Amino acid sequence: MGKAIVSTPPGINGLDLRSGEEVVVAETPESMAQAIRDLLSNPGNRLKLETQARAAAVRDYSWDVIARRQAAMYQSLRATTA
């Protein structure tokens, strides 16, 4: 949705996102609150994070990308069992 994301490490587990680039990762409640305050008080940084997060979502996690990866996986499984 093109929004800035502040998450805990388990919240992005399994996603290939870079902290400070596409997401802000916070380890503690205090650091999460501070990260949110920082994003709210700095619209330029927030917009940059939102833009990069959206680009990562489209590039790596869109339905088309996932469907192509799944099709490739099925093809490789078919090749190994034939």
Which token pair is 63? Answer: 């339905």
Give the three-state DSSP class for 14: coil
Q: Does residue 56 carry a pLDDT above 70?
A: yes
Phi, psi of 81 (to 5 degrees): -100, -5
pLDDT for 23-51, tens place per residue?
999 999 999 999 999 999 999 999 999 99
What is the spatial distance between Cα 46 and Cα 52, in angstroms, rounded to a whole number?
Answer: 10
